[in-house]
Amino acid sequence: NAGVTQTPKFQVLKTGQSMTLQCAQDMNHEYMSWYRQDPGMGLRLIHYSVGAGITDQGEVPNGYNVSRSTTEDFPLRLLSAAPSQTSVYFCASSYSSQTEAFFGQGTRLTVV
């Protein structure tokens, strides 16, 4: 039972590069979300999706794009990486918007 799978686990980017962080879940959850975790800041919501084809912005959406073409996948795209986007990124899924979320193992991103 894989749960929520994130790839890659580590990534180093140069300023201005773009990349996509992958997230997949095998629990048939409708609700998926992306968070970033910075020291002393807890987890902050970047984007979320309540189902295939529907996405919305969270607390810190600038510099990130998402799409949800299938129930299983919710990739996060960095359009032009900046050092301020150095962080640990977590994808989560839940049965609905009001139930417990299950997290992936995270992607540690460094932008130089």
Partner 1 sequence: GQQLNQSPQSMFIQEGEDVSMNCTSSSIFNTWLWYKQEPGEGPVLLIALYKAGELTSNGRLTAQFGITRKDSFLNISASIPSDVGIYFCAGHLTYGGSQGNLIFGKGTKLSVKP
Q: What is the 3-state secondary structure (H, E, C) of 21-40?
A: EEEEECCCCCEEEEEEEECC
The stretch among 19-27, 64-72, 75-83, 104-112 that binds partner 1 (CB under 8 A) is 104-112
Q: Which of 22, 52, 58, 73 touches partner 1 by CB under 8 A?
A: 58
Query: 15-54 mask for partner 1 (x: CB under 8 A)?
Result: ----------------x-x-x----xxxxxx--x-x----
Nearest to 14 by CA among 85, 88, 102: 85
CB of residue 77 vs partner 1: minimum separation in angstroms?
A: 20
Those residues whose C-beta lies under 8 Å from the C-beta of residue 40, and which sit 6 or more positions away, are: none
Strands 10-13 and 107-111: parallel
CB of residue 4 vs partner 1: minimum separation in angstroms?
A: 8
Q: What separation, in Å, do the N-terminal and C-terminal C-alpha atoms of the chain show?
A: 36
Residues 63-82 that bind partner 1 (CB under 8 A): none
* Token digits of residue 21: 């962080």
Is 59 a binding residue for partner 1 by CB under 8 A? The answer is yes
Q: Which residues bind partner 1 (CB under 8 A)?
A: 4, 31, 33, 35, 40-45, 48, 50, 58-59, 90, 92, 96-106
